[in-house]
Amino acid sequence: MFNHVKIGDSPLWLQKRLWNAGMRPINNIVDITNYMMLMYGQPLHAFDLDKLNGQKLYIRRAEKNEELVTLDGQKRDLRSGEDIVIATDEEALMLAGVMGGLNSEVDENTENIVLEGAIFNPSLVRATARRHNLHSEASARFERGVNWDATFTALDHAASLVDDLAGGQVARGRVTAVDTKRDNIVLSLTAKRVNQILGTQLTLENIALFFKQLAFDYTNDGASLHVTLPARRADMSIEADLIEEIARLYGYDNLPVTLPYGPTTPGKLTLQQRQIRASRHIMESLGLNQAISYALTTPLKAQQFAEDRTAKVVSLDYPMSSDRTTARQNLLAGLLEDVAYNINHSVHDIALYEQGRVFIAKDNSDELPIEIEHIAGVLTGNYETSSWQHLKKARAVDFYDIKGIVSAYLDQIGVENVRYVATDRHSNMHPGQTADIYAADVYLGFVGQIHPLLTKSQKMAAVFGFELNLFAVMAAAKSDVQYNKISRFPQMSRDAALLVDESVQHAVIETVIRGAAGSKLVDITLFDVYTGDNLPHGKRSLAYSLTYQDNDETLVEAEVNSDFERVTDALVKQLNVEVR
């Protein structure tokens, strides 16, 4: 406690030392506390005694709904039970170890002050500084640990400077709230252990000289050294820390260089890693270039193409900027940003894919979010450009181009029984050109055209995209390597023109054909669709070519005819089609 202090500017020598350390001089009292922090690494804080109204000071955890206006003028909502505060009976005065409060600030009218110095839990100070985005010089030191032995020394030195520079009357003695003694840490170390780790030939006497250089207290019993870790070295706690100090002083360049010895375990990729790598290779072989987008975005874009748009988003406590506040729940939104960027830079024919993780928040906000691997792609512009050589015109990409890429990828990665179901449940996708993708009954993702209202607002041409749950794809893929044997025997084909209801989908017809056909059917091709005149209302004509082949022998005409008849009978019975 100090009475009758005179607040004013610090002497020039003190101001220069603060300037050289990158700190701004404020007044003699505050400058003294900052100077002690630089000299001893011990943050101190000065309270205006008269503003305390004679109340006692307490160190406690913040209470529910408690607020504090810090010295930077910001109101802080304190976290109950987690933030440490120094307080009176009535209110909190400062965020302990981080920043003081405006209600007890030392200003030009201050006459009596109290100096406070303490050791705070580094983890709690670090959490408070991050929670309030308030990283101060004091918190930086408390987070890393301060010297337990320097607290009273710093206070005594500060008291002397207050007497010299502020004319304060220093009260006798100290008020000690808690005086927790630090337990000495004594570690034993042998020369054999040091040489085993560093590969050196040091003696115990050589090692002792290093600790003498460091001013560490130790005893040598002839077999080992017993080293007492000083309070000023909060970074040291285990044997490895001592050996690291020995290596540093001995010189890293002086350590012998040796080859590894003993059994080694060759590394390899896991099945999941191999599948992810294969996914990238397949996408690139299909003509797509890899894009890497930000995993952080806005809340709107985070859920733009998400499967469950009602799911909670993962928001950052301390975002870098206002447009990077939320962890993404889809990849397509980021790819759409990449498309817009390229178009703005006069690149119009775009084929991109991205593989990465999306983040789904759990109901309990304290739990880590669920991370799911996704893969997505986009196409826009022209699939083919015009050429005088072949007298062809440019052709814009369409739904079947992006669907063909998805089909080829799933086929090459080893997913079978894939089916596409038309859907309009994705609000940001074109309702007439979007399909959900299933492997049997397992949902994999969706493919289709980005909704025109979304692309036109950004002055884009039609954009087609897909997004797949890569974990679901990998679970459905065959784990062993697959290949199709090339047959040396000729193929046979049969054509069928079917009159079907407009509501019957091609995927359903293909499923019926494959279910009824035998093992010799190798390909189904839809080569004509007719919806013009001379057809009954609500009907359309679909023409299919069925290709048969045997890997072991030449097909027999009767066998193919029998199989084809079985297929047409199944179509008539199950889908009520008319074979024309």
DSSP class of residue 392 equals B
Q: Helices (H) and strands (E) in the chain — how many of each?
A: 16, 29
The Cα 405–Cα 210 span in angstroms is 66
Strands 75-77, 99-100: pairing kind: unpaired
67 labelled as ligand-binding?
A: no
Strands (E) located in 381-508:
382-384, 395-396, 418-422, 429-439, 442-450, 463-469, 492-501
510 labelled as ligand-binding?
A: no
The Cα 68–Cα 85 span in angstroms is 10
Q: Of how many residues is the chain composed?
A: 580
CA pseudo-torsion sign 5, 7, 12, 15: positive
Cβ 15 vs Cβ 34: under 8 Å: no
565 labelled as ligand-binding?
A: no
CA pseudo-torsion sign 411, 413, 417, 421: negative
Residue with tokens 């909502």: 77
116 labelled as ligand-binding?
A: no
CA 110 to the chain's CA centroid? 49
How many angstroms separate the Cα of 234 from the Cα of each of 157, 241, 449? 22, 11, 59
DSSP class of residue 104 equals G
Backbone angles phi, psi at 197, to 5 degrees: -80, -45
In 3-state terms, what secondary structure has residue 208? helix
Strands (E) located in 37-147:
44-48, 58-61, 67-69, 75-77, 84-87, 92-95, 99-100, 113-117
DSSP class of residue 202 equals -
Cβ 324 vs Cβ 297: under 8 Å: yes
Cite the annotated binding site for Mg(2+) by residue number: 235, 241, 244-245
Cite the annotated binding site by residue number: 235, 241, 244-245
